Amino acid sequence: MLRRQRWHTWNTLDHTLTTMASEQTIDGAAAIPSGAGDEPFLGLLDVALLAVLIGGAAFYFLRSRKKEEEPTRSYSIQPTTVCTTSASDNSFIKKLKASGRSLVVFYGSQTGTGEEFAGRLAKEGIRYRLKGMVADPEECDMEELLQLKDIDNSLAVFCLATYGEGDPTDNAMEFYEWITSGDVDLTGLNYAVFGLGNKTYEHYNKVAIYVDKRLEELGANRVFELGLGDDDANIEDDFITWKDRFWPAVCDHFGIEGGGEEVLIRQYRLLEQPEVQPDRIYTGEIARLHSIQNQRPPFDAKNPFLAPIKVNRELHKGGGRSCMHIELSIDGSKMRYDAGDHVAMFPVNDKSLVEKLGELCKADLDTVFSLINTDTDSSKKHPFPCPTTYRTALTHYLEITAIPRTHILKELAEYCTDEKEKELLRSMASISPEGKEKYQSWIQDACRNIVHILEDIKSCRPPIDHVCELLPRLQPRYYSISSSSKLHPTDVHVTAVLVEYKTPTGRVNKGVATTYLKNKQPQGGEEVKVPVFIRKSQFRLPSKPETPIIMVGPGTGLAPFRGFIQERQFLRDDGKTVGESILYFGCRKRSEDYIYESELEEWVKKGTLNLKAAFSRDQGKKVYVQHLLEQDADLIWNVIGENKGHFYICGDAKNMAVDVRNILVKILSTKGNMSEADAVQYIKKMEAQKRYSADVWS
């Protein structure tokens, strides 16, 4: 799975108090000639008192009028009340005790969804008399779980995503290894687990399923059943359905009387900062201020390298779609890569969408501000780098094109002045069958983002700072590197299809990253740069070059295999013995979207590549790579069964990858004289030996 990222949680926050002072000047008083002897009708003190009275009356009138214009809210949006006692950085137990909390929600997250769900659970705990905190297991001493039972009514919830081929996320890796290898006694620990996965992958929610089972084996007490979210279907629906049953079970377990009034809690307070010096304002940096202007290694997810784009050319020859070949220079960055690794790129949002959102929220986008966490025990002082401007936040830091989840709709509803529109948003945020159906059709199927919602719900005009708090962070986009460092040590090649489609509402949605890249054209000798970093992968060529390989990569699934073939050609040119390299490639039409055609044909001529190409629409009956694989059963068995070759898949996880795996099971059964169960086990053994690898996405 190609999308992932590490996030953060809690630490100590300096609580900032601001005071506002206003000055009032009264002009136009008549000058009194010196020595006239007459006193003015009003003395200076009288004028001052009169000004205060007039100012106060005006303020009261305007304030009352503003209140009349504001939508009526059935519940308030208020800051969290917390204890400000500091505690050691990685002791979540001390922080719980110091702030009178008993609920801790840990998350394992790559794209931010796990952290978002954890935050929502922690905030909702207040309704059930369980004050909560969110915690990153990577930043905690997880052995303190043994002490959690010492806190009355304590509960640990784990929101854990499964990444790649059944692996824990980066920030949950140490915790996962600890409970796997350790034999601690967790008797007395109350827990619940919600998993985030995708059913198109073989190891669906493997991490959450294991952690839930393992905690019970170690003596912990499961308060509520394991929840499993499927990102291929509707993970938001899975989550809200699970937590709607989770809270009553928690109340029953601890003897708590139901939930109180629902309160929408602002996690961050607004501080406008017009006096901040320009050199202290973030302008798009991921973490370190001025890291864009002053680049220094090591470069990673928090400190990306500004890579110049050397080449940005079109690969398609027709058909109305676009596929880009991009070459990034990493010269001088000290970054290294191998064929099969991924390059991550930080995109920016479309300027017109940013302007439109500012207009809909009636905001001055150049206002300098900070959002400050009201939870002083949190290390996440701000939701994104602050101070900054609204324009920068919406351009660089926030996902404004993402499909909003239900909790965002619930909070937006409070800013509607039209009762029907308010009820529509509330309904879609509910767990009623009608509400879920409406959310599916009106939000998800219609592909409405925050801008579209505010355009169509005309009475909803939330303050821009609350919108910035609600929207998720803009994530880096990951691409399989389509070059070999043996041939291109200081360049990284990317192969990307431009994402652009018309929605049921008639709008045209564009992919954030590919639209950004499409416009990054190096012209006139001027450098065009994008922020990137390298992420290592397990998708690797065999350590022995003479090992034969089979690669299945239709469309842009060809990307990593271009790097593989480059490397094998390089080794052959260097006099090395290289095993057979077989590529199954597919596209619609040879004349339109046959990418890297000349390169592939050249490798075939040189004897480096055995190419099997399927052009699905060049004949009456569609032909895909799956059909070619079925026809080559003897060849495939010879490579992976008799010669212990490697098998690789890259591309669509939902259909192609599943089909290819099933075909492989069938070939192993017939040509290897195995039962279906034995064939499945054979593939699992290949996976364990790193002879079967998949780099797929849904």
Written as one letter, the residue type at 117 is F
Q: Are 163 and 203 in contact (CB under 8 A)?
A: no
| Helix locations, 580-675, DSSP H | 597-605, 625-631, 633-636, 656-671
Q: Are 650 and 560 in contact (CB under 8 A)?
A: yes
Q: Are 614 and 582 in contact (CB under 8 A)?
A: no
Residues 6+ apart with CB under 8 A from 487: 566, 567, 570
Q: Are 248 and 356 in contact (CB under 8 A)?
A: no
480 among known catalytic residues: yes
Considering 650, 652, 659, 693, which one is annotated as catalytic?
A: 650
CA angle 468, 353, 401 (to 5 degrees): 65
Q: Are 353 and 507 in contact (CB under 8 A)?
A: no
Neighbours of 577 (CB within 10 A): 9
Instruction: Tokens for 167, please give them.
Output: 């692996």
Residue spans of beta strands (DSSP E) within 52-178 = 77-79, 103-108, 132-135, 155-163, 167-168
Written as one letter, the residue type at 304 is P
Considering 109, 427, 480, 537, which one is annotated as catalytic?
A: 480
341 among known catalytic residues: no
Report the C-alpha gap between 37 and 443 in whole angstroms: 77
Q: Are 302 and 287 in contact (CB under 8 A)?
A: yes
695 among known catalytic residues: yes
Residue indicated by tokens 């996976």: 687
The end-to-end CA distance of the chain, in Å, is 8
Residues 6+ apart with CB under 8 A from 356: 451, 455
Q: Helix, strand, coil % (nearest 5) of the chain?
A: 35, 20, 45
Instruction: Tokens for 564, please give them.
Output: 């593989």
Is the backbone peptide bond immediately before 387 cis, with ω within 30 degrees of 0? Answer: yes
Cα 445 to Cα 316, 420, 424, 431, 634: the distances in Å are 29, 21, 16, 18, 44
The β-bridge relationship of strands 190-197 and 227-230 is parallel
Considering 237, 238, 341, 695, which one is annotated as catalytic?
A: 695
159 among known catalytic residues: no
Q: Are 484 and 566 in contact (CB under 8 A)?
A: yes
Instruction: Tokens for 555, please give them.
Output: 């469309």
* DSSP string across 214-273: HHHHTT-EESS--EEEETTS-HHHHHHHHHHHHHHHHHHHHT--------EEESEEEEE-
Report the C-alpha gap between 292 and 285 in whole angstroms: 6
Report the C-alpha gap between 82 and 625 in whole angstroms: 59
Report the C-alpha gap between 89 and 653 in whole angstroms: 40
Q: Are 649 and 584 in contact (CB under 8 A)?
A: no
Q: Are 323 and 337 in contact (CB under 8 A)?
A: no
Q: Which residues are catalytic?
A: 480, 650, 695, 697
